Structure 1
Amino acid sequence: MDPVDSAAVTVAAGGRTGTRLLPPGDFGVVLATLRARQGWSVREFSRRANVSEGQICNLESGVRNPTPAVAAACDAAFGTGGALVELAEAGRRGARTESLVDAGPVVAGYERVLRELKDIGRSTGPRFVTASMKSVTRTLTDAAPLAVGEQRADIWLLASKFAEYAGWMAQEAGNPAEALRWTNLAVRWGAQGGDETVAAYALVRKAFIAQHRGDTHAAIGCADQAAGHPAANPVIRAHAARRAAQGHAHRGDAIACREALERFASHVAEALGDRTPHWGPRTENGNPRLIEASCMLSLRRFELAADLFDAERRRRPAVPADSNSQARFAVRHATALAGVGRLDDACQIVEATLPVIKRVDSATVRAELGRFVEQARTRRASPGQLALIDASAALAIG
């Protein structure tokens, strides 16, 4: 039995317990949430429930209410013990006759879906969320023309948020072209929702993509454009300064890197309490010490980088909830330690982190692992360390 089937059996094990089994929302939102949790695409769910893909999209967008037979088929596919049938019946009793979409439940429900998908993406990587991200954006872009006024704008803005995260997941999957495509869609849909700030943040994303391509000139250029964009708010300027700092560090320009780090700290302080639209990771969750340590690593100031990583690990020994960030900074720490000859300590960190790296399957984390391998191979290693370095090299290649 695969994990999806196992999860469905677990839900159904309690028998017919009613709608309390289900996440909050109307039938369409609940359907999308359950599908996202299982990691099913619309096509996969269509196959399991024997319901057409078009029907599923109409249900999830709120354009159609389910018939009793369709509700029963969905209930059987998820193993919700009659809960979906009850929810569909409750929806029919209070059904509206208008053909327009009421955006309130759609937006609130899919915002919850997006939060859940981000939680899954942070802990397991892109492969379990990509299909759901694509199908939800299709649902939202189909629903938006059926709404009016501010409600239509709200749906377009939510579609933009899904597209922005789909771009990040594409980058994590090692597909920069697809990442750029989704980022451009996020800009277009954000504009239709009345938000121009996503255009500024898109430049930050493009800076990150350029950095991982090894094009530091383009990375710094995009970061500077983001910082100077008319719609940039303090959060976006902070992200831009961080990307600029890392770009300058890769080029070996310590002075420009330090200036960018100072701008980052200033914008983070300015962003506290900022209520303008939010894109990208929350700046208050960014650890300035780890970011500085990462820049020192790129500048090949291994001793300073190792000291900063060591100090932060002593100060915050608990691992963060974000497995991707945990793995990325752990590998950078190990690279710094290898750079100062502490290969035993470095290998201990990598050995403990390899299971996380395998689970999240992130192209950006694998790139960091490749940097560790490159540095570790400059040191004299024991047979056990050599085996770990070789295993890391194989995983870095993907």
Structure 2
Amino acid sequence: MVDIDVPIWAARLRVLRRGRLWNHRELGRRLADAADETGRDQLPDPETMIRLWEAGERRPDEANAELLCRAFGVAESDLFVGDAAGTTLWHYLTGIPLRSGMFTAEEEERTGRAIEAPQRADEGTVSYFRTTLDAYTRADLRPADLIHVLRPVFAGIEEFHREAGPPVRRAFLMLAAENAELISRMHHESGDPDEALAWSDEAIRDAREAADALLEAYALAQRGGLSDTIGDPGRLVDLAVAARERAHLPPWVDALSRDHEAQGHALAGDVDMCHRRLEESAQSLEECGDEPPYRSEAHNALCAGCLVDLGQAGGAIEILEHEPPKAQPTYAVAYALARMAHAYADAHERERSAETARQALALARRSGASRALRELARVQLPRQDVRHRRILL
């Protein structure tokens, strides 16, 4: 077994905390919540204590061990390792997140052996990584947090698609493409256009190497969604068209590509082509079954955004008021609200713009939605209205 510079129990604390995407402050808050009123008053500086515990410089006493168990929702035997030293070790070394109860001890051990020797990877290893990826593709996560947790997952998948045997190599390559595409979108939401484009390139390359035309089409369609990153309406249209040329697309991917093409036409000021593609997208969505990955709420928000770009604020307001943003990731709702504030401002509805901007700003700050903040910066309120202008500063 590889040696590490901290006791296994300290590594376990760090692995469990990172698996839940908690920083030291968040774990400290949860320890305080787990304590009764008397115990809460007696807690030392929790962030300092947590750092000492994870460095192995001090072991939690009985009272703090109980609070940690409550915070993590695990038994003391699970928290302080027991027979799971090997599992703790490979999660600690790779940074791949560990979630207690998600996998059996046997699945964890088998995946750890495959990490050590990628030639051992099998369908079970593929399933392990796909389940992990799905578990963190959540609407409640901040984009920056999702990037943080997905990077080591991507690194592990990349290692397998280079070193694993032929039976599973292609499956890992497809997972790498999906993972890279998701990281790209999160960089876009968190305000890092260069990284968004770099990861999008990675997703497209992996999809092509896997010779999966549908996955490549999806990656191209999503690349088109980086419209405010690319800054080239013609390129945006070309990407969306290219996506539809790669394969016979399921209706929801077809709708996604047509919506992103509509974005390009809107940015270029081509009203007729924009409306035509939006109508075609709506028709494709009608062909979808229940709960497609690309939903009508996202389509409506994008339609409204196109109308804002075309200077048709009234149409954008009608769409957004008819079906307010919902059932989307928090950062996407923040962006939709920012678009609504923009539409109200363009329609000279100052009070409604300011109120919507206030809601969007609070949500964007809470969810780490830098793209929504950039959109709010574009909202033009009368300069003499100092009270409302402060909302957007």
- The TM-score with structure 1 as length reference comes to 0.69
Tell me the distance in 1 between the aligned counterparts of 2:129 and 2:78: 18
Letter in 2 for 1:260: R
Deviation at 1:111, TM superposition (A): 2.0
1:338 to 345, 351, 354: 345
Q: Which residue of the partner structure matches residue 395 of structure 1?
A: none
> Residues 170-189 of structure 1 correspond to what in structure 2 (within 5 A)?
170-189=187-206
Give the direction of change, closer, same or farther, for the CA distance of 1:89–1:233 in structure 2 (3 Å limit). closer
Figure out how many residues of one structure are paired with residues of the other and give that number. 329
Is the counterpart of residue 200 in structure 1 residue 203 in structure 2? no
Is the counterpart of residue 101 in structure 1 residue 104 in structure 2? no
Is the counterpart of residue 111 in structure 1 residue 130 in structure 2? yes
Is the 8 Å Cα contact of residues 152 and 193 (structure 1) preserved in structure 2?
A: no
Gaps of 5+ in 1: 36-44, 46-52, 62-73, 275-280, 392-398
Tell me the distance in 2 between the aligned counterparts of 1:21 and 1:251: 60
Tell me the distance in 1 between the aligned counterparts of 2:180 and 2:254: 21
Is the counterpart of residue 327 in structure 1 residue 338 in structure 2? no
Tell me the distance in 2 between the aligned counterparts of 1:103 and 1:366: 44
Is the 8 Å Cα contact of residues 191 and 370 (structure 2) preserved in structure 1?
A: yes
Letter in 1 for 2:175: L
- Of the structure 1 ranges 124-133 and 345-354, higher mean CA displacement relative to structure 2 is found in 124-133
Q: Which has the higher contact order (CA 8 A, sep 6+)?
A: 1
Tell me the distance in 2 between the aligned counterparts of 1:99 and 1:371: 49
Tell me the distance in 1 between the aligned counterparts of 2:135 and 2:304: 31
Letter in 2 for 1:136: V
Give the direction of change, closer, same or farther, for the CA distance of 1:216–1:148 in structure 2 (3 Å limit). same
Q: Which residue of the partner structure matches residue 12 of structure 1?
A: 69
Tell me the distance in 2 between the aligned counterparts of 1:21 and 1:232: 49
Is the 8 Å Cα contact of residues 101 and 143 (structure 1) preserved in structure 2?
A: no
Tell me the distance in 2 between the aligned counterparts of 1:90 and 1:307: 51
Give the direction of change, closer, same or farther, for the CA distance of 1:195–1:384 in structure 2 (3 Å limit). same
Letter in 2 for 1:358: R
Letter in 2 for 1:292: C
What SS class does the counterpart of residue 327 from structure 2 fall into?
coil
Tell me the distance in 2 between the aligned counterparts of 1:263 and 1:15: 51
What SS class does the counterpart of residue 123 from structure 1 fall into?
coil
Letter in 1 for 2:372: V
1:254-305 residue CA offsets vs partner (Å, 9 max, x unmatched): 111111112212222344489xxxxxx8223544443332222111111222
1:34-53 residue CA offsets vs partner (Å, 9 max, x unmatched): x7xxxxxxxxx5xxxxxxx4
Tell me the distance in 2 between the aligned counterparts of 1:197 and 1:100: 28
Q: Which residue of the partner structure matches residue 301 of structure 1?
A: 312
Tell me the distance in 2 between the aligned counterparts of 1:261 and 1:103: 43
Tell me the distance in 2 between the aligned counterparts of 1:355 and 1:31: 40
Tell me the distance in 2 between the aligned counterparts of 1:273 and 1:16: 39
Is the 8 Å Cα contact of residues 197 and 232 (structure 1) preserved in structure 2?
A: yes
Deviation at 1:357, TM superposition (A): 0.9
Letter in 1 for 2:69: A
Is the 8 Å Cα contact of residues 101 and 146 (structure 1) preserved in structure 2?
A: no
What SS class does the counterpart of residue 129 from structure 1 fall into?
helix
The sequence identity of aligned pairs, in percent, is 20
Is the 8 Å Cα contact of residues 354 and 388 (structure 2) preserved in structure 1?
A: yes
1:114-152 residue CA offsets vs partner (Å, 9 max, x unmatched): 223221xx4343321223222111111222345334322
What SS class does the counterpart of residue 136 from structure 2 fall into?
helix
> Residues 48-87 of structure 1 correspond to what in structure 2 (within 5 A)?
53=93, 56=94, 87=105
Tell me the distance in 2 between the aligned counterparts of 1:89 and 1:112: 12
Tell me the distance in 2 between the aligned counterparts of 1:89 and 1:139: 16
